[in-house]
Amino acid sequence: QKEVEQNSGPLSVPEGAIASLNCTYSDRGSQSFFWYRQYSGKSPELIMSIYSNGDKEDGRFTAQLNKASQYVSLLIRDSQPSDSATYLCAVKDTGFQKLVFGTGTRLLVSP
Amino acid sequence: DGGITQSPKYLFRKEGQNVTLSCEQNLNHDAMYWYRQDPGQGLRLIYYSQIVNDFQKGDIAEGYSVSREKKESFPLTVTSAQKNPTAFYLCASSPGLAEKLFFGSGTQLSVL
């Protein structure tokens, strides 16, 4: 079973700071990576996808991918209390054509 | 509005009872999925379907059954063989297999 590892947190940052969320994965052949945000009691919402090494920016969010190190991260700039949620990392399992999810990192942004 | 509709939002199951969770999508997506989420845990794949009349077991299929008679619909039945069914159930769809997933609002299933 391919694995996706995340620190469960909580990661606490003050409002306006940069939040850095990290994810490692075991499948060297993976080509597709996704970040989802999940508020308590709600369903996951896709916020970023990344397929190539390097950075991908979308508004306050930046996804970073390093396939050699099997590492993907999500940076949230100017963090807001409304960013407080659990962030799930998902990686495409090349062998079974499915997404494997990490357990998520809980982010708390304090005013 | 395009999206994925799950019903009911809350469901209670008595011991020995089968219950069915509904999932309908109007996104014209080919692939549909059922995930289970337990507190503090990641999403675990129960079943998935790439096309109509075809579906595959995921990682935790025991005690569950599905059907895919229409592209838009992918109902999940939690059978009495599933001894620990209490969880948050999420239906998702994607344009193709293992691409970006879009989730429904979820069904919280509890045992009476």
Which pLDDT tens digit goes with each residue over A51-101?
A: 999 999 999 999 999 999 999 999 999 999 999 999 999 999 887 778 999
Q: Residue A69 corresponds to which tokens in the numbers above? A: 């190190």
**Which residue in chain A has the smallest CA separation from B40?**
A103
Helix (H) / strand (E) element for A64: namely: strand A61-66
Is B47 in CB contact (< 8 Å) with chain A? no
How many whole angstroms separate alpha carbon B20 and alpha carbon B66? 9
pLDDT of residue B16: 87
**Cβ-defined contact of A4 to B104 (cutoff 8 Å):** no
In this structure, are residues B26 and B18 in contact, taking their beta carbons and an 8 Å threshold?
no
Q: What is the pLDDT, as a whole number, of residue A95?
A: 77
> Which residues of A fall within a CB distance of 8 Å from B106?
42-43
Q: Does A98 touch chain B (CB under 8 A)?
A: yes
Q: What part of A 15-34 touches B (C-beta under 8 Å)?
A: 32, 34
Min Cα separation B44/chain A (Å)? 8
Residues of B in contact with A45 (CB under 8 A): 103
Instruction: Find all residues with CB under 8 Å of B107, minimum gap 6, and list them.
Output: B6, B7, B8, B9, B10, B11, B21, B88, B89
Which residues of chain B make contact with A44, given a CB cutoff of 8 A?
43, 90, 101, 103
How far does B28 lie from chain A, in Å, by closest CA? 18
Cα separations in angstroms, B46 against A40, A80, B62, B92: 22, 35, 8, 11
CA distance B4 to chain A (A): 11
Mention every residue, 6+ apart, whose C-beta is less than 8 A from residue A59.
Answer: none
What are the pLDDT digits (tens) for A13-66?
999 999 999 999 998 889 999 999 999 999 999 999 999 999 999 999 999 999
Tens digits of residue pLDDT in B14-63: 888 999 999 999 999 999 999 999 987 889 999 999 999 999 999 999 99
CA separation for the pair B49, B31 (Å, rounded) = 5
Gap between the Cα atoms of B12 and A53, Å rounded: 46
Instruction: Flag the least confident range among A33-47, B50-64, B69-83, B87-101.
Output: B87-101
**Residues from chain B contacting residue A103 (CB–CB below 8 Å):** 40-42
